Amino acid sequence: MIRLRLRSKLHGTRSFATIPKTPCPAWEGEPSRPVVKTAIPGPRSAQLSKDLDQLQDPRSCHFFADFDKSIGNYIMDADGNFLLDVFCQISSLPLGYNNPALAKAAKSDEWVSALINRPSLGINPPAHWPELLKDSFMAIAPKGMNQIMNLMCGSCSNEVAYKAAFMAHQQKLRGDRAWNQEELTSCMKNQAPGSPDLSILSFDGSFHGRMFGSLSTTRSKEIHKIDIPAFNWPSAPFPKIKYPLEEFLKENQAEEERCLHEVERLIQSWPSKVVGLITEPIQSEGGDNHASHDFFRKLQKICKKHEVFFIIDEVQTGCGPTGRLWAHEAWNLETPPDIVTFSKKTQAAGFFHNLNSRPNMPYRNFNTWLGDPIRVLQLRTIVQEIKDKNLLENVRITGNFLLDGLQQLQRKYPVLSNARGAGTMIAFDLPTSAVRDDLVNKLKQLGVQNGGCGPVSIRLRPMLVFRPDHAAIFLEAVEKAVKTL
């Protein structure tokens, strides 16, 4: 049995005594450290993988989980191992496993009714729906945005956001007139003018989903796109920032200007009209790629200049992991974005927007469910827990401690490099994909569930209740694993 023990000094990092205080309370009953009894995945997970293989593809599975026994920041696998989870269901869990506030809410009559009487929200929303929207989505709405489109996942949030931009653009061109017969007839043949030749611009290295429109704007990994037809939409270079930032100010500024120039060139020259531009505040699947706040402010100015919808994909950055409810809040934009999409840590999904991107008629941006009331009820509790437990402050405190520790480790072990991040949304690089994958596995064997991104990066996606003491355990595990590379 392997148990990670916090020593008085984490070699090259901070001492236990200097772990900062946080307003986030400790989780009662949570393990004090990982507990590893078997290899990971263990024999039980291996057998379950064989069983699953008879029914569906198990090849992406890390291990099978025992969610009933998982608690707080620790996930238990089917073999009884307790792993400190810094991957958290691909960045989608905000409050910890078996959160008491969510467990209590789930027993209410309100939750039971929503579960057994799932409505078609566009046709028969429940009587309390406007109030529920105010207490959930609108309680965390980005400043200056007053409309919410409720959907099911990150991919469909981006997909439907593109449709909203296209519809608004065409409506503005038409003015007050109705569709003419040529438009109505041609759209049924997938031809212009009813099906206009329009496009969305995205960035190299981006990930916006796996549906047809969202996949056409995804540019991070070939395996996502191969064999799938795609729209002929433009892609601009995203800045390749050098670290440490203070040593490469001029180079990074020049790189951002190069990318901005290419964005504007593509908008002006692309064969189909560029109606929208979508960007992640931090390119996550592409390798946790960052750009400066000034870059995004200038990006918005270019969009305004050319009447292009400025769409922010906050699917992975939204709801707190950067230390703010929305990562784009740090940019200090002159005006709100046109559309902000979200999913993952909100549990619910959709996008914020304003009336100018509401379709001119009902049933245009529409589907049977338009989201799920259970997930909105869940979000209402998440919002309250963020406030009650001061979780955004916890993320900032823990993130600073964690990033500082990683930067100290990389000074001691040159195999680690480019530690970067905002809040606890942090990543660092290894020399090659093979070395990165080896470290991911070694950390797992030490009881740390983690994951990679991009060609050579390891990304950290802990929950909002991940405290500095958890970060210290992670740093010790990294140092122990790095010594065996």
Which sequence positions are flagged as catalytic? 207, 313, 344, 368
3-state secondary structure string across 118-177: CCCCCCCCCCCHHHHHHHCCHHHCCCCCCEEEEECCHHHHHHHHHHHHHHHHHHHHHCCC
Closest to 459 measured CA to CA, from 436, 435, 482, 485: 436
Residue 173 neighbours by CB under 8 Å, 6+ apart: none
In whole angstroms, what is the distance from residue 94 CA to residue 383 CA?
A: 10
Q: Considering only CA atoms, which of 289, 411, 284 is closest in space to residue 343?
A: 284
Amino acid letter for position 432:
T
Nearest CA to 397 among 133, 21, 76, 5? 21
CA gap 343, 157 in Å, rounded:
8
Which string of b and e fits 444-476 if b means at least 16 CB within 10 Å? Answer: bbbbbbbbbbbebbbbbbbbbbbbbbbbbbbbb
Closest CA to 409 of 474, 323, 453: 474
C-beta of residue 215 within 8 angstroms of C-beta of residue 290: no
Tokens of 210: 């796996």
Measured distance CA(207)–CA(315) in Å, rounded: 10
User: Can you give the C-alpha Rg of the chain in angstroms?
Assistant: 23
394-397: long-range contacts, CB 8 A cutoff, minimum separation 24: 394/22, 394/23, 394/24, 394/464, 394/465, 394/466, 394/467, 395/320, 395/321, 395/322, 395/323, 395/423, 395/424, 395/464, 395/466, 396/323, 396/423, 397/20, 397/21, 397/22, 397/468
Residue partners of 473: CB distance under 8 A and separation at least 6: 4, 6, 33, 34, 84, 448
